[in-house]
């Protein structure tokens, strides 16, 4: 995707524009992933979204080992090895010269600048899908709300065009950011990952106090304003981390006590490991690379825990991939459900997709 350079609009750094999403709000949506996140979840399914600046990745399967990138790099950050191209990330300045010179597209610079005006123009191309499906646009990340002025201008433009908008947030942002954005948001997708603050810090690098306070703020804002946004809570269930009965029950109790009827949906999102290659492309060892998927029975059990936690049971649902029945002795949700042509990659519950055989 080419960067855009109009000076008449605020600029933001965009990781990806994903069209035809059905996982980031109602209907068919265009999800805009922005760079930068204030927390660093160990299970993050979009690790390239965490750092706010552009990043270079090398895709080994398409590399033709021509060496053009090595000769092009002005910092001498690339070297040819027996295993392919090695990126010295301490020297790489993410200038993009190597990616532009690469004939096979093996090197990719992730994180391009857009103006809000030009990005809105790109998004509007999908209006027909929004109108026929009740869909719209979701701002995700990373953490979209960190790029406040860019998101605010973009949301205002989309609102003026009559396009449904959603904000996907981890909640670790200044309340003032949310207060400015909420008047232009139709739906808030709010992640609550772990109810215990010490565990939250161990899993993500930050405690959860600000997140829980912001969840209460978003709910109270909805009650106090005539134009009410919808709220969906999403909880990723990660083996060895957040996938615990105590955590699910605790989050449910928090929702029931503090958010009440403001929450329309609470979605439990099953872990999957399809993002392993992303970590290798960034030169990162992923601690969850060998973690197993949850089973259907486990997800159903967590959903029952959620329904019994004090919330309205009707708001609870779960989504995501579970173990194939060949791996669980015939006990699997795929055994009684039609095969799906795609796998879903989630950050929290924000999605990317890859085709499966």
Read off the CATH number of the domain in which 81 is found: 3.30.70.20
Same domain, 213 and 88: no
Cα 294 from Cα 238, distance rounded (Å):
8
Determine how β-strand 136-140 pairs with β-strand 263-270. unpaired
Q: Summarize the confidence of residues 239-254 as an average pLDDT.
A: 98
Same domain, 272 and 228: yes
What are the tokens at 346? 């989630």
Same domain, 86 and 232: no
Whether 80 is covered by a domain: the verdict is yes
**Residue 122 Cα distances to 18, 22, 28, 41, angstroms:** 11, 19, 16, 31
Lowest mean pLDDT among 6-10, 56-60, 74-78, 99-103: 6-10
Q: State yes or no: pLDDT of 342 exceeds 60.
A: no
pLDDT tens track for 150-187: 999 999 999 999 999 999 999 999 999 999 999 999 99
Q: Supply the pLDDT for residue 268.
A: 98
Residues 6+ apart with CB under 8 A from 75: 91, 92, 93, 95
Same domain, 94 and 210: no
Which residue from 23, 47, 43 is spatially nearest to 35, judged by alpha carbons? Answer: 47
Mean pLDDT (the chain, rounded): 88
**Residue 38 Cα distances to 9, 74, 110, 170, 288, angstroms:** 25, 31, 18, 9, 20
Residues 6+ apart with CB under 8 A from 81: none
Q: Supply the pLDDT for residue 7.
A: 47
Same domain, 176 and 304: yes
Cα 241 from Cα 226, distance rounded (Å):
39
Of 93, 110, 127, the one marking the end of a domain is: 110
Q: Supply the pLDDT for residue 8.
A: 55
Q: Supply the pLDDT for residue 5.
A: 44
Count: domains in the chain: 2
Are 118 and 4 in contact by the 8 Å Cβ rule? The answer is yes
Helix (H, G, I), strand (E, B) or coil at 23: coil
**Residue 40 Cα distances to 68, 200, 257, angstroms:** 34, 11, 28
Which is higher by pLDDT, 132 or 227? Answer: 132
Of 90, 110, 130, the one marking the end of a domain is: 110
φ, ψ of residue 107 in degrees (nearest 5): -95, 130
Q: What is the pTM of this model?
A: 0.86
Cα 338 from Cα 58, distance rounded (Å):
35
Are 223 and 260 in contact by the 8 Å Cβ rule? The answer is no
pLDDT tens track for 81-130: 988 999 999 999 999 999 999 999 999 999 999 999 999 999 999 999 99
Same domain, 235 and 247: yes
Whether 131 is covered by a domain: the verdict is yes
Q: 24 lies in which domain range?
A: 11-53+112-276+284-355
pLDDT tens track for 10-40: 899 999 999 999 999 999 999 999 999 999 9
DSSP for residue 257: I
Same domain, 61 and 170: no
Whether 3 is covered by a domain: the verdict is no
Whether 338 is covered by a domain: the verdict is yes
Whether 315 is covered by a domain: the verdict is yes
């Amino acid at each position: 995707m080419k960067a855009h350079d109009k000076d008449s609009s605020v600029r933001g750094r965009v990781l990806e524009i994903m069209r035809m999403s059905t996982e980031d709000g109602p209907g068919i949506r265009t999800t805009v992933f922005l760079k930068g996140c204030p927390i660093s979840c160990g299970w993050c399914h979009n690790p390239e979204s965490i750092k706010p600046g552009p990043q270079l990745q090398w895709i080994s399967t398409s590399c033709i080992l021509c060496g053009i990138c090595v000769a092009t790099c002005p910092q001498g950050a690339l070297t040819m090895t027996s295993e392919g191209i090695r990126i010295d990330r301490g020297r790489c300045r993410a200038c993009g010269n190597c990616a532009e010179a690469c004939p096979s597209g093996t090197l990719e610079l992730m994180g391009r600048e857009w103006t809000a005006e030009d990005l809105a123009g790109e998004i509007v191309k999908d209006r027909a899908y929004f109108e026929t499906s009740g869909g719209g646009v979701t701002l995700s990340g990373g953490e979209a709300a960190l790029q406040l002025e860019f998101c605010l201008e973009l949301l205002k433009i989309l609102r003026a065009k009559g396009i449904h908008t959603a904000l996907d947030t981890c909640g670790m942002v200044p309340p003032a950011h949310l207060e400015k954005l909420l008047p232009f948001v139709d739906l808030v997708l709010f992640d609550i990952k772990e109810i215990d603050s010490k565990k939250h810090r161990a899993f993500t690098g930050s405690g959860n106090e600000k997140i829980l306070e912001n969840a209460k703020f978003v709910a109270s804002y909805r009650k106090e304003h005539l134009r009410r946004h919808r709220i969906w809570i999403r909880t990723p269930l990660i083996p060895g981390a957040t996938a615990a009965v105590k955590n699910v029950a605790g989050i449910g109790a928090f929702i029931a006590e503090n958010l009440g009827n403001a929450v329309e949906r609470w979605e439990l999102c099953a872990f999957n490991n399809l993002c392993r290659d992303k970590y290798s492309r960034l030169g990162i060892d992923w601690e969850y690379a060998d973690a197993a998927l949850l089973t259907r029975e486990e997800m159903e059990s967590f959903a029952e825990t959620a329904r019994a936690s004090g919330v309205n049971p009707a708001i609870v649902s779960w989504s995501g991939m579970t173990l194939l029945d060949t791996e669980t002795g015939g006990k699997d949700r795929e055994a009684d459900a039609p095969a799906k042509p795609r796998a879903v990659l989630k950050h929290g519950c924000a999605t990317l997709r890859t085709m499966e055989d």
